[in-house]
């Protein structure tokens, strides 16, 4: 398996623009997680899905953030409108159902909002 795939790897955009981050989880995994990593706040869980259904979105910063998982092999995280404070590395991770399994992380998307 190719692992968790994220695109784009780098994104630079201007404040106010819409940003869409994409993730393809490992085939067969039924959990998908979106994290944000910054120096100030560390690694934050934004939202996670089980079998394509959002389970906990309490980490989503505000209404400007939205995430979808239309099928088992694809998820998006959208920021509209983007702000400079959204600059961070965004990770997608997937895993099997049992908590005994580790999460497999994608390479991350480095987002810069100017």
User: Could you list the residues that contact another protein (CB under 8 A)?
Assistant: 31, 33, 42-43, 45, 48, 50, 55-56, 89, 91, 93, 97, 99-100, 102-103, 105, 107-108
Least CB distance to another protein at residue 85 (A): 19
Closer CB to another protein, residue 10 or residue 85?
10
Beta bridge partners, 32, equal 49, 94
d(CA 88, CA 40): 10
Which tokens go with 72? 């088992």
Q: Is the peptide bond before 85 cis (omega within 30 degrees of 0)?
A: no
Least separation in angstroms between CB 100 and another protein: 5
**Residue 81 C-beta: closest distance to another protein, Å:** 26
């Amino acid at each position: 398996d190719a692992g968790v795939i994220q695109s784009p790897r780098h994104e630079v955009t201007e404040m106010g623009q819409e940003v869409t981050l994409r993730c393809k989880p490992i085939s067969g995994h039924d959990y998908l997680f979106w994290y944000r990593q910054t120096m100030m706040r560390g690694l934050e869980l934004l939202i996670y899905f089980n079998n394509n259904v959002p389970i906990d979105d309490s980490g989503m910063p505000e209404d400007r953030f939205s995430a979808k998982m239309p099928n088992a092999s694809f998820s998006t995280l959208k920021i509209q409108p983007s702000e400079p404070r959204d600059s961070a590395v965004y990770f997608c991770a997937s895993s099997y159902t049992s908590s005994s399994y580790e999460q497999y992380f994608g390479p991350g998307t480095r987002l810069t909002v100017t």
